[in-house]
């Protein structure tokens, strides 16, 4: 990871936290000040999907060319993606408590997110129960690809078929309703980029640690 990317990540997140908490936001009924969750909750899901995407990318590369390096990258991106998913879930639950009245509301989007996390937790269980390193790498890459391609599209399709109270679906004010509001866009897009870069940074650090441990055990 280049230095400028790290600097950008830090600058963007400092900007997100100050501007996200201080700038003016539109007054919408029910949402009120919780609309600021857009800068912290939504980027978690964007980040999760992008990080899982990176994990898939390295899973494919591993299957085409089985180098341990790709396997390590694949699993570490999945780790950080899951951490983002859990943070997204927690921030969403907190938000739901104050707008919907309960931490767990049973909204289709909440259920879909829970299923995604289950898939990746199953992926870690699978890795834990395979002993041979090569076999673990190959089989978990296969499951990663299968589950992502078979499940993740569903999570975007099924909630759209049901009525949901989540902003952005079922006629609730969502991202499109903010389109007119340029003041939110100038915080939201940098926030997404900043959070993703931080996730990417964490993942690359973890990959480096894993590689050092590998050299350590080999010598």
**What residues make contact with other proteins under the rule CB under 8 A?**
63, 115, 118-119, 122, 125-126, 129-131, 134-135, 138-139, 141-143, 145-147, 149-151, 153-154, 157-158, 161
Q: How far is the CB of 117 from other proteins (least distance, A)?
A: 9
CB 194 within 8 A of CB 16: yes
* 62 versus 95: smaller Cβ distance to other proteins: 62
* 28 versus 139: smaller Cβ distance to other proteins: 139
Q: How far is the CB of 194 from other proteins (least distance, A)?
A: 30
The owner of tokens 């990540």 is 9
Q: How far is the CB of 58 from other proteins (least distance, A)?
A: 15
Q: DSSP string covering 96-149, please?
A: HHHHTSSS----HHHHHHHHHHHHHHHHHHHHHT--SHHHHHHHHHHHHHHHHH
The CA R_g of the chain, rounded to the nearest whole Å, is: 19
Q: How far is the CB of 95 from other proteins (least distance, A)?
A: 24
* 25 versus 137: smaller Cβ distance to other proteins: 137
- CA distances, 119 to each of 60, 64, 152 (Å): 18, 23, 9
Q: How far is the CB of 178 from other proteins (least distance, A)?
A: 30
Query: Rounded to whole angstroms, how far apart are CA atoms 101 and 27?
Result: 20
* 138 versus 211: smaller Cβ distance to other proteins: 138
* 154 versus 186: smaller Cβ distance to other proteins: 154
């Amino acid at each position: 990871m280049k230095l400028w990317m790290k600097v950008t990540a830090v600058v963007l997140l400092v900007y997100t936290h100050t501007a996200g908490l201080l700038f003016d936001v539109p007054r919408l009924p029910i949402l009120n000040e919780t609309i600021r969750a857009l800068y912290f909750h939504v980027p978690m899901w964007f980040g999760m999907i992008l990080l899982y995407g990176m994990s898939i990318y390295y899973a494919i590369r591993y299957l085409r060319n089985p180098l341990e390096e790709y396997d390590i990258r694949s699993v570490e991106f999945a780790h950080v993606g899951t951490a983002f998913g859990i943070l997204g879930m927690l921030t969403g639950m907190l938000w739901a408590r104050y707008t919907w009245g309960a931490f767990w509301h049973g909204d289709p989007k909440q259920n879909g997110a829970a299923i995604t996390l289950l898939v990746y937790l199953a992926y870690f269980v699978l890795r834990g129960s395979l002993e041979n390193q090569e076999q673990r790498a190959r089989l978990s890459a296969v499951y990663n690809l299968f589950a992502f391609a078979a499940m993740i599209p569903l999570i975007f399709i099924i909630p759209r078929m049901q009525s949901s109270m989540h902003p952005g679906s079922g006629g609730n004010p969502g991202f499109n309703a903010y389109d007119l509001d340029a003041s939110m866009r100038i915080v939201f897009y940098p926030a997404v980029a900043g959070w993703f870069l931080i996730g990417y940074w964490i993942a690359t650090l973890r990959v480096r640690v894993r590689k050092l441990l590998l050299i350590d055990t080999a010598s």
